[in-house]
Amino acid sequence: MTDFFSGIAPIKYEGADSTNPLAFRHYNPDEVVMGKRMEDHLRFAIAYWHSFAWEGGDPFGGQTFVRPWHPQDQMATAKIKADAAFEMFDILGQPYFCWHDADIRPEGDTFAESLKNFEAIIDYFGEKMSTRKVKLLWGTANMFSHRRWMSGASTNPDPEVFAYSAATVKTCMDATMKLGGENYVLWGGREGYETLLNTDMGRELDHMGRFLNMVVDYKHKIGFEGQILVEPKPQEPSKHQYDFDAATCYGFLQKYGLENDVKLNLEQGHAILAGHSFEHEIATASALGVLGSIDMNRNDYQSGWDTDQFPNNVPEVALAYYHILKDGGFTKGGTNFDAKLRRQSLDADDLIAAHVGGMDICARGLKAAAAMIEDGGLDTALAERYAGWDKPEAQAMLNSDLGSIFDKVTGEGINPAPKSGRQEILENYVNRFV
Ligand code: 3MF
Ligand code: MG
């Protein structure tokens, strides 16, 4: 037991009229939305790195947070950190959490020492999970913070770093499986480059493709039934990252024969950095059959970097869940809060309130998305817009050729009349629900 969250009771649903800052006003886990409990739709997860490992630093200044688990370079404090984390899970009651190896264990002087620390904490987690409902949404390896990864992990010019990466991912997949994790994620923060003057891009892409194939082979070897997910992001920390966005990742997966074995973990802030909306990335992955899971946060629209703030924009979140529900909803994936406090938000109740607000925003978005689907207005508009394609002669055209189509256009004097796209009418429609 720590006393970090002392005085904060488990968060309850009190309804939309509640003025209690530490109550849910929209997230009601048992409420049924489109035939499924809200908790089972949203599948919330807490990210260990932002909530417990990050110390409040930015490029201009170091630590602002003072926590009972600091300094984080000792096994004793790693256990205090785990105690506090599970105390927060008990308060919020979210069904999942996620970690990187480096978030949960102190780095050792050797690979073997880091692994020993890691395995001890995984066992400690296992004990805590055995008496609770909280589960692991995904595990991942941090292959971007330590200086050994500065030139990449699987794309590093040094084969010894490739080897260290492979060994690291093996241990993280083993630990994810041991804890019953439902996904394994790879985000390549330094799988990219700073300058082409020192980079053989084709070789690096081939190594990354080979590495991911080894990950999939290992998944089958150990019988891991979770999804393997890659997480697109266009830049930061690398100037150019190979997994730029959903469409780029799909092309990569196809080239290396992985499109049926690997799906995507999409993040709101990364979509914005790539110049897309979040719903664009979700709809792209859905159209390509690779929507896996989401990292929920938001980026500041002025600053142009990855601010990882908690979500607070219902219309944006509603459109994201609209496309997730249209895809059939999460199976193994979920909503991971890859979001951090502002560095001035020092207190334990800031951390709780941030998650309470984020969960409520997502619940409101989900309810709005479900209401739009149940109303069917957008489906009707789409059906009307594409109705011409339901005609047999339109379908037959797709199986014909340019010459025959030319004969038809000239023979029948085809002269298409432009029709309104009705964008403002549809935007007004969405605003009725959000
Ligand atoms: C970086 C991220 C990462 C990934 C994480 C798991 C540190 O912008 O979003 O968080 O989510 O590495 O893939
Ligand atoms: Mg993320």
70-90 confidence digits (pLDDT tens): 999 999 999 999 999 999 999
Domains in the chain, CATH or no CATH each: 32-375 (3.20.20.150), 379-431 (no CATH)
Atom of ligand 1 nearest to the CA of 229: 13
- As a whole number of angstroms, the distance between CA 227 and CA 260 comes to 11
Backbone dihedral angles phi then psi of residue 224, each to the nearest 5 degrees: -75, 125
Confidence of residue 370 (pLDDT cuts 50, 70, 90): very high
pLDDT in tens, 391-424: 999 999 999 999 999 999 999 999 999 999 999 9
The verdict on whether residue 39 carries a ligand-binding annotation is: no
- Active-site choice (101, 103, 174, 360): 103
Ligand lying nearest the CA atom of residue 153: 1
Q: Tell me what pLDDT residue 304 has.
A: 86
Residues enclosing ligand 1, CB less than 6 A?
A: 49, 100, 140, 185, 187, 231, 233, 267, 295, 306, 338
Among left, alpha and beta (phi > 0; psi -120 to 50; other), residue 413 is left
Is the pLDDT score of 67 beyond 90?
A: yes
Atom of ligand 1 nearest to the CA of 186: 13
Ligand lying nearest the CA atom of residue 229: 1
Active-site annotation holds for 50 = no
Is the pLDDT score of 145 beyond 90?
A: yes
Atom of ligand 1 nearest to the CA of 267: 9
Is the pLDDT score of 147 beyond 90?
A: yes
Q: Tell me what pLDDT residue 7 has.
A: 96
Q: Pinpoint the alpha helices (H) of 35-139.
A: 38-42, 48, 75-92, 101-104, 111-130
Is the pLDDT score of 309 beyond 90?
A: yes
Q: What per-residue string of b and e applies to 263-290 under the rule 16 or more CB within 10 Å gives b?
A: bbbbbbbbbbbbebebbbbbbbbbebeb
The verdict on whether residue 295 carries a ligand-binding annotation is: yes
Q: Could you list which residues have their CB under 5 Å from ion ligand 2?
A: 267, 295, 338
Is the pLDDT score of 164 beyond 90?
A: yes
Q: Which residue has the tokens 């159209």?
A: 287
100 and 49 in contact (C-beta within 8 Å)?
yes
Percent residues over pLDDT 70 in the chain: 100
- As a whole number of angstroms, the distance between CA 55 and CA 67 comes to 8
233 and 187 in contact (C-beta within 8 Å)?
yes
Q: Tell me what pLDDT residue 407 has.
A: 98
Among left, alpha and beta (phi > 0; psi -120 to 50; other), residue 316 is alpha
Q: Tell me what pLDDT residue 94 has.
A: 98
- As a whole number of angstroms, the distance between CA 81 and CA 266 comes to 28
How many whole angstroms from 187 Cα to the centroid of ligand 1?
6
Helix 111-130 × helix 159-178 angle, to 10°: 20
Task: State the chain's mean pLDDT as an integer.
Answer: 98
How many whole angstroms from 369 Cα to the centroid of ligand 2?
23
pLDDT in tens, 95-130: 999 999 999 999 999 999 999 999 999 999 999 999
- As a whole number of angstroms, the distance between CA 111 and CA 191 comes to 21
C-alpha separations of 113 from 109, 121, 240, 364 in Å: 6, 13, 33, 45
Active-site annotation holds for 390 = no
The verdict on whether residue 70 carries a ligand-binding annotation is: no
| Average confidence (pLDDT) over 2-29 | 98
Confidence of residue 301 (pLDDT cuts 50, 70, 90): confident
pLDDT in tens, 206-262: 999 999 999 999 999 999 999 999 999 999 999 999 999 999 999 999 999 999 999
| Residue to mutate (ligand 1; options 229, 273, 295, 308; most atoms within 8 A of CB) | 295
Is the peptide bond preceding residue 95 cis, with omega within 30 degrees of 0?
no
Atom of ligand 1 nearest to the CA of 336: 11
Helices (H) and strands (E) in the chain, counts: 16, 12
Is the pLDDT score of 286 beyond 90?
A: yes
Q: Tell me what pLDDT residue 303 has.
A: 87
